[in-house]
Structure 1
Amino acid sequence: MQFDLIVIGGGVNGCGIARDAAMRGLKTVLIEKNDFGSGTTGASSQMIHGGARYLISDVETTRLSSLDSGYIQKIAPHLLFRIPFLFPVMAKPGRSGRAQKIYLEFLETYFEAYDKFSPLKNGKPHTRLNKEEALALEPDLSENLIGAVTFDEWGIDSFRLCLGNVASAAEHGAEIHNHTEVTEILKEGGRVVGVKVRHLLDGARSELRAKIVFNAAGPWVPKIAELAGCEVKLRPAKGVHLVIDRRIVNYAIAANAIDGRSIFIMPYQNTTIIGTTDDDYFGDPDAIPILEDEIEYLLDGIEQVFPRVRQARIIHAWAGVRPTLFKRGPYEDDLSREHEIFDHETAEHTPGFLSIAGGKLASYRLMSEEAVDAVCRKLGVSSPCRTHQVPLPGGERILNPEDLAKEYGVPLFAANRLVYRHGARAMRILEMVRERAAQGNVICQCEPVLECELRYAVRHEWARSPGDLRRRTRYSIGPCQGTRCSMMGAQILGEELNWSPEEVFRQLRSFEEKSWHGRAPILDNVSVQEEELAAFTFCNVGNVDQWN
């Protein structure tokens, strides 16, 4: 089949490019090796932020990120939530009281400059707080506090952001393939004309042809470029985050790590996130280790401003690789977050092939617009971008969760979470409860997640594994880490996909093995006991270990 555009990579940039291209009338196909958002996007800090940290060295990135944050709020109002930040100032040995006051004045001046971008991202202006005011907001801050400055950013579920873009692309005619690996770039007379792919779920192979192939594979961009005989140099940066089982802070709190880098602890949905490291990484982006030193680095930094952090229960850690543009010399944290579109026809005489790298989550929509602008110029298409005007699926209107809970007889908390993830489409999902009342059952108690949402993810959102369900619904991601719900979710998946009992158990074992990667690095005495209890549940109750 002949397409106008093949997009390789189902992170937020690839999904955004596919949506924009399909909305402009291009015959588009999106290919993702794993699942949508399963790489760099899902391992991000889950914020659509203006980039206060780039204000001195990269003002344009701050401006563009703030501008696009405002657009994203308009097209996906259900999916974003305000995160108020505290930037505490601590008394330091050897620093005089006068020097501390000067530093606080400097900090306020800094955020006065950041306030200029607040209207673009619907932010609130900063506020200066004395010690008593800051402790009233966050009582567990360190007693060494002398004052604080507030600012705000926006949180998001990056997996749902990807799915919204994918769903929109499909509704505008795009063809969608996850769990599909590009094995070869096809060339004729030096021109890239398509790809060969392998469908990982069944092993089938096929060939797709297009006028343009766009490489948006994140940290895998150099590998895909190499398949086309081209080169894209990156300086990949590894970032690690920790997840605490509940909210232990009222506000996000900025802190400095031992090397002076900015890190944070913030409330996120039903949990708390600590992040992030930023280190050069030249290993395999498919197998990123999480080291004990990285966990200690984050805890030590947060402990300086929030001393009781070590009393909290860490349930999970994740690691991702940022596809940062290459530059030799700067410290990792000083690398630009700008993006670049590589036209391989101009640079390497390989027409029909483009790549994109760099950037950040908050500027995905703008990056996608620029990418499709480049494609349209090559194809002679003049259709304008409309992705900043047309809501993502579910963003058309905001539903009242209380009304839905009463109408469909489901728990209010579950209805609330469903509306957050799906917006106006929550009603479409809850209609499944009318067909069969059991579809209103709560499968994951921690989040919570209803049976109808899991089935909807399989039928309408390309979910083909327990990990896919987790990314779409947060099923099995809470304090029990799937001990109570993994088996039920796998069984529902099996029913929807007509799996044999053997395949259900095989998928469940694979899911648990992959989940272990995020739990093993954070185990301590208590969590080891919890792992043993979970293993007993799966093996002695579910007999998961008896299936090969």
Structure 2
Amino acid sequence: MKVLQTTILILGGGATGTGIARDLALRGVKCLLAERHDINAGASGGNHGLLHSGARYVASDMEAAVECREEGEIIKRLAPQCIEDTGGLFVAVEGDDEDYVANFQAMCDRSGVPAQELDLDEARSLEPVLSDKLIAAYAVEDGAIDPFMLSLDNMAHAMEHEAEYVRNAKVIGFVKESGKIKRTQFRHEVTGELFEVEAEVVVNATGAWAGLVAELAGASINILYSAGSLIITQDRLTKRVINRLRKAADSDILVPGGTVSVLGTTSVTVEHPNDCRPTVTEVDRIIDDARAMIPLLETTRYIRAYAGVRPLVLSGDGSDARSVSRGFSLIDHADDGVENFVTITGGKLTTYRMMAEKTADLVCGKINVTKPCLTATEPLPASTMGRWTEPGLGPKSWITKRDGDDLILCECEMISKATIDTIIANMGDDHGESALQAIGLRSRVGKGPCQGGFCGLRVTGHLYDEGLVKSQQGMDELKYFVERRWRGFSPVLWGLGAVQADLQEALYCGALDMELDDEVLNCGENS
């Protein structure tokens, strides 16, 4: 059995895991990141992309509000390529809690979160889609963040400093000796190959799966799984982030991102982190509630629903997901009898860098490394690995740099053959395994109105032409890709979306004789 050697093994390839890899690599610590699926396969790829100003938490969690304010400022300064500094509005409508509205400015001031009251006419002039039943509006410093670019850029910078990365690697067990993890055992999810990793310290950054991984090591974490669903509009509806001015609740945030907007989210307690799929009923509830602040949401077209799971660590018997702190938990499992095992979970995308810093500090203390964290001052370089997730980049690139032989493979997002070739080259030796899904994660392929209906087939054809898939492999990958896109498409099927769905069914099930899994077609999943 193959055994890999490293100093620090990081489990989980979300924003926190890749952030830890970069932090350690910049300190000169050798590390290897192992991810069961691919970058941002969990909550880091299933959120609304909001860069919090902290205003959402000024009433419920002052510590989280301050952390979001401070870290948001750092990310804006050091990773501008990942951020659209939109600004945001908090708006209340008739029937909302007027006491909360009256206290909002004072609560923001206590947390140091900038907020400015606006005249209602001024607020509606800034965002004409707002309801004419506003009773209050405040400007805050929210923004939009591209979580895929963020994680890919972090991993790329870590790899420039000799960090390593393996995807499709599922943890199946730990070999312990004298109260320490000696080896971590993996199974490659595509090839079935078994391999092990020897490391001085193992970091569990698997998000909602942290408790399950900890159990394999003989440790215990009490986690509440809070599933949140979101829906994507076909068009961008606002320039700014729009928040409902009330205590944190469902359906109270609209985040513009590139050419679309993301609406949500919900909070539903589930028994297992895999139980995370949006439903038609949930989508209807989100729209019905949010239309009070933006009436246009009732009639706009939606192209996808998706979901993620928030891992909320419980310290007592609490069971209400909305009342549990959105802060993070850093756990040294020495108290569980495992000296070299650390878990980091919870928190927010906005605070990922600080979470990574605190984790790296703890890890470095265990291996006697005294070099300080650099991520609060060192800019995060834009990478080729992450650049193609940017909405609108495809058209600009193709129009300005196109050569005569380049062809568009994804018309919705204007992704060309040359772009696909660049992404494949950047994936390295692993490009032949789950290539289509990996291309979709690293680009806008499949994220436009057709949701992969046409581009999936075209990109697969190109992979065959390049010899990257052979025989039945390409069709199997295409089926998997289409099913995953359909999971998010199915909860929003009405109007033009339903017509489009009929066309896609005719193409894949009729012309290609592809039988799609009924269970898959009837529920949603992460984007």
Common fold: TM-score over 0.5: yes
**Aligned CA distance change for structure 1 residues 488 and 3 (closer, same or farther; 3 Å):** same
CA gap 1:323/1:418 in 2 versus in 1, 3 angstroms:
farther
User: Does 1:438 find its partner at 2:405?
Assistant: yes
Worse overlay, 469-478 or 366-375? 469-478
Query: CA separation of 1:497/1:28 partners in 2, compared to 1, >3 Å: closer, same or farther?
Result: farther
Query: 8 Å contact 1:221–1:357 — kept in the other structure?
Result: yes
Q: Name the CA distance, whole Å, in 1 between partners of 2:350 and 2:425.
A: 29
Give the whole-Å Cα distance in 2 for the aligned partners of 1:514 and 1:323.
23
Alignment of 1:388-403 (within 5 A): 388-394=376-382
Distance 1:526 1:68, change over 3 A: same
Deviation at 1:140, TM superposition (A): 3.2
- The alignment partner of 1:106 has SS state of helix
> Which AA in structure 2 matches 1:55?
V
From the superposition, tell whether residues 39 and 418 of structure 1 become closer, same or farther in structure 2 (CA, over 3 Å). Answer: farther
What residue is the counterpart of 1:403 in the other structure?
none
Aligned letter for 2:422? Answer: Y
Structure 2 residue identity aligned to 1:341: L
1:465 lines up with 2:435 in the alignment: yes
Instruction: Look up the match of 2:135.
Output: 146
- Is the contact made by 2:55 and 2:113 (CA closer than 8 Å) also made in structure 1? no
- Contact 1:195/1:208, CA 8 A, preserved across alignment: yes
Q: How far does the alpha carbon of each residue in 1:74-97 deviate from its partner, in whole angstroms, 9 at most, with x for none?
A: 3321110022323223233xx9xx
- Find the residue that maps to 2:6 and give its secondary structure: strand
- Paired with 1:418 and 1:186, the residues of 2 have a C-alpha distance of 51
Pick one of 216, 232, 255 that aligns with 1:227: 216
- The answer for the alignment partner of 1:272 in structure 2 is 261
Q: Post-superposition shift, 1:58? A: 2.2
Distance 1:65 1:497, change over 3 A: farther
SS in 2 for 1:323: strand
How far residue 104 of structure 1 moved from its aligned partner, in angstroms, is 5.2
2:189 corresponds, among 197, 200, 205, to: 200
Give the direction of change, closer, same or farther, for the CA distance of 1:290–1:167 in structure 2 (3 Å limit).
same
Matched ranges for 1:496-511 at <5 A: 498-511=468-481
Q: How do residues 18-33 of structure 1 correspond to structure 2 at under 5 angstroms?
A: 18-33=21-36
| Equivalence for 1:2 | 5
Q: Residue in 2 aligned with 1:307?
A: 295
Could you tell me which amino acid in structure 2 is paired with residue 106 of structure 1?
Answer: N
Q: 2:14 aligns with which of 11, 25, 39?
A: 11
- Which of 76, 81, 86 is the matching residue for 1:83? 86
Residue 523 of structure 2 is matched in structure 1 by none
Distance 1:39 1:363 in 2: 16
Q: Offset at 1:335? A: 1.1
Does the 8 Å CA contact 1:49/1:66 hold for their aligned counterparts? Answer: yes
Q: Aligned-pair distance for 1:150?
A: 2.0
Query: How far, CA to CA, are the matches of 2:116 and 2:248 in structure 1?
Result: 26
For the residues of structure 2 that align with 1:70 and 1:438, how far apart are their CA atoms?
43
Matched AA of 2:169:
T
Cα pair distance change 1:69/1:437, threshold 3 Å: farther
Say what the alpha-carbon RMSD is for the aligned residues.
Answer: 2.9
- Report the 3-state secondary structure (helix = DSSP H, G, I; strand = E; otherwise coil) of the residue aligned with 2:284: helix
8 A contact 1:159–1:472 mirrored in 2 = yes
What is the alpha-carbon distance in structure 2 between the residues aligned to residue 65 and residue 256 of structure 1? Answer: 18
Counterpart position of 2:524: none
Corresponding residue of 2:119? 129
Instruction: Using the TM superposition, give the Cα deviation of residue 527 of structure 1 relative to its aligned residue in structure 2, in angstroms.
Output: 2.5
Q: Structure 1: where are the runs of 5+ without partners?
A: 119-124, 400-411, 420-426
Gaps of 5+ in 2: 517-527
- Residue 378 (structure 2) pairs with residue 381 (structure 1): no
8 Å contact from structure 1 (residues 239, 319) kept in 2: yes
SS at match of 1:221: helix
Cα pair 2:52 2:72 within 8 Å, conserved: yes
Q: How far apart are residue 142 of structure 1 and its match?
A: 2.4
CA distance in 2, matches of 1:108, 1:261: 22
Cα gap change, 1:103/1:76 in structure 2, threshold over 3 Å: closer, same or farther?
A: closer
User: Which of 285, 304, 320 in structure 2 is aligned with 1:331?
Assistant: 320
How big is the shift at 1:113? 4.8
Judged with a 3 Å threshold, the aligned counterparts in structure 2 of structure 1 residues 52 and 496 are, in CA distance, closer, same or farther, namely farther
Work out whether 1:449 is the aligned partner of 2:415. Answer: yes
Cα distance in 1 between the residues matched to 2:109 and 2:383: 32
Distance 1:495 1:127, change over 3 A: farther
Of residues 476, 483, 493, the one that matches 1:513 is 483
Query: How many angstroms apart in 2 are the aligned matches of 1:348 and 1:103?
Result: 43
Contact 1:36/1:163 (8 A) holds in 2: yes
Query: What is the match of residue 296 of structure 1?
Result: 284
Q: How far does residue 479 in structure 1 lie from its aligned partner after superposition?
A: 1.0
Residue-pair matches, total: 503
State how far apart, in whole Å, the 2-side matches of 1:497 and 1:164 are: 28
* Letter aligned with residue 498 of structure 2: V
Secondary structure of the equivalent of 2:85? strand
Aligned to 1:42: 45
Distance in 2, Cα, partners of 1:174 & 1:497:
29
**Structure 1 counterpart of 2:522:** none
Q: Does 137-146 or 102-111 show the bigger shift? A: 102-111
Distance (Å, rounded) in 1 between the aligned partners of 2:462 and 2:89: 43
Structure 1 Cα separation of the partners of residues 233 and 437 of structure 2 = 20
Cα distance change, pair 257–240 in 1 and its aligned pair in 2 (3 A) = farther
With over 3 angstroms needed to count, the CA separation of the structure-2 counterparts of 1:259 and 1:74, relative to structure 1, is closer
Kindly indicate whether the alpha-carbon contact (under 8 Å) linking 2:208 and 2:225 is maintained by their aligned counterparts in 1. Answer: yes
1:523 — aligned with what? 493
Determine the C-alpha separation between the residues in 1 that align with 2:92 and 2:8: 51
In structure 2, what is the equivalent of residue 71 of structure 1? 74
Aligned mates of 2:247, 2:94 — CA distance in 1: 16
- Give 1:316 deviation, angstroms: 0.6
CA–CA distance in structure 2, aligned partners of residues 170 and 497 of structure 1: 27
Evaluate the alpha carbon distance shift between residue 73 and residue 104 of structure 1 in structure 2; reply closer, same or farther with a 3 A threshold.
closer
Q: How does 1:81-230 map to 2 (within 5 A)?
A: 81-92=84-95, 105-113=102-110, 116-118=112-114, 125-130=115-120, 132-230=121-219
Between 3-12 and 48-57, the greater mean CA deviation after superposition? 48-57
Residue 356 (structure 2) pairs with residue 368 (structure 1): yes
Alpha-carbon distance in structure 2 between the residues aligned to 1:56 and 1:417 = 44
Q: Please state how far the C-alpha of 1:282 moved relative to its aligned partner.
A: 1.5
Q: Which amino acid aligns with 1:456?
A: T
Aligned position for 1:414: 394
Q: TM-score, normalised by structure 2?
A: 0.88
CA-CA distance at 1:413 after TM superposition: 5.7
Corresponding residue SS for 1:460 = helix
SS of the aligned residue for 2:142 comes to: strand
